[in-house]
């Protein structure tokens, strides 16, 4: 199984369309081959127009037995700044008891877990099994609903098991019953119609990155809780994690206070979370003494279970427009939305 996982990690199957999608195709074919080798002889690559390649395979249910659908995804996030990696992102590397590489956990490990289970239970499954391995989860599954409609019969099942979550702790399994939803949008702040010299014009007019920073600062209160009106939160979970464990698992630096208040699990599971996951502004390495006319941020909002993503998106847009600093024009462009 480890060698199968390593082979999958070596395929840079980044589903962001700015990257070479031939690798996503290669990854899908590799997954289909693994499933066929594990007994799902009909495993094949499927898609809908405009969608990424997914893999579906079946083991027929014995008479009267239910069918279980096993889900995972084979696409991965971009590697980001390669220089920040200790080892090459798409070369699986073992350090201690861990295998490092982009997708080694999320979610090619999920793919291999399903394959390993099929191998271990070969001839003794006792139920029908359908495996569905998606190829566009990391870009928000834009054609997911159309895929479900198109291949409804091939995906019919009595229960779905998703191998794309976390354990409670290393060595302690957990059963995830709900996840937060997701909406994201690009916020663009403009202040000038062209760049101008900071020595001649600086003072009366603030640069766009500064105005964008002021806008971003309104998204949270002084404790770090999300301060966007109209977002909901669910009840606190009945279990909690201790702060020291969370800080160690997340790699929080000494001296950095955690955001928000209340149980750690509530902040992770049942309350909204809002962050900036991308910025477009002049780079430090190529900056000049000019006042930047525009700056943009990609906002990612995790929505509490039960909230309609369209309502959450509308609340976020309303907040951004109401908080536009110094009357600067603000453009709000929806990128993604997904229900909890």
Q: Which two tokens stand for residue 92?
A: 């699986």
Q: Report the Cα–Cα distance between both ends of the chain, in Å, rounded.
A: 32
| Angle ∠(47,48,54) on CA atoms, nearest 5 | 25
Contact 45, 118 (CB under 8 A): no
Tell me if residue 137 is catalytic: yes
As a whole number of angstroms, the distance between CA 56 and CA 46 comes to: 7
Backbone φ, ψ for residue 175 (5° rounding) = -110, 110
As a whole number of angstroms, the distance between CA 299 and CA 310 comes to: 15
Burial class (CB in 10 A: 0-12, 13-18, 19+), 263: middle
Catalytic residue among 6, 106, 136, 137: 137
As a whole number of angstroms, the distance between CA 258 and CA 256 comes to: 7
Q: At what angle do helices 22-37 and 2-9 cross, to 10 degrees?
A: 160
If you ran DSSP here, which 8-state letter would residue 14 be given? B
Tell me if residue 243 is catalytic: no
Catalytic residue among 6, 75, 107, 207: 75
Please enumerate in sequence order all residues whose Cβ is within 8 A of that of 340, keeping only pairs 6 or more positions apart, or say none. 178, 179, 180, 181, 303, 304, 305, 306, 307, 309
Backbone φ, ψ for residue 133 (5° rounding) = -115, 110
Contact 269, 237 (CB under 8 A): yes
The set of catalytic residues is: 75, 137
């Amino acid at each position: 199984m480890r060698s199968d996982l390593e082979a999958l990690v070596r395929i840079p199957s980044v589903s962001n369309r700015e990257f070479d999608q031939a690798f996503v195709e290669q990854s899908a074919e590799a997954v289909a081959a693994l499933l066929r080798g594990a007994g799902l002889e009909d495993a094949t690559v499927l898609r809908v127009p405009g969608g990424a390649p997914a893999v579906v395979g079946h083991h027929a249910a014995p008479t009267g037995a239910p069918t279980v659908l096993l889900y995972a995804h084979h696409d991965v996030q971009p590697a980001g700044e390669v220089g920040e990696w200790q080892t090459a992102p798409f070369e699986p590397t073992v350090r201690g008891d861990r295998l490092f590489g982009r997708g080694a956990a999320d979610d090619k490990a999920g793919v291999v877990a399903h394959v390993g289970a099929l191998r271990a239970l070969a001839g003794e499954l006792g139920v029908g099994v359908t495996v569905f391995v998606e190829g566009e989860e990391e870009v928000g599954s834009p054609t997911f609903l159309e895929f479900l409609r198109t291949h409804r019969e091939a995906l019919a099942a009595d229960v779905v098991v998703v191998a794309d979550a976390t354990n409670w702790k290393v060595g302690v399994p957990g059963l995830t019953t709900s996840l937060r939803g997701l909406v994201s949008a690009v916020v663009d702040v403009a202040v000038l119609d062209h760049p101008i010299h900071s020595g001649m014009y600086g003072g009366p007019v603030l640069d766009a990155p500064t105005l964008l920073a002021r806008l971003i600062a309104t998204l949270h209160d002084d404790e770090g809780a999300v301060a966007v009106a109209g977002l909901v939160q669910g009840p606190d979970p009945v279990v909690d994690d201790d702060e020291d464990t969370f800080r160690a698992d997340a790699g929080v630096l000494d001296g950095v206070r955690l955001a928000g208040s209340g149980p750690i699990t509530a902040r992770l599971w049942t309350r909204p979370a809002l962050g900036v996951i991308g910025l477009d502004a002049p780079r430090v390495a190529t900056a000049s003494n000019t006042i930047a006319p525009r700056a943009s941020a990609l906002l990612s909002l995790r929505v509490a279970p039960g909230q309609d993503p369209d309502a959450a998106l509308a609340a976020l847009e309303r907040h951004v427009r109401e908080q536009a600093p110094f009357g600067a024009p603000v453009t709000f462009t929806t990128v993604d939305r997904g229900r909890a």
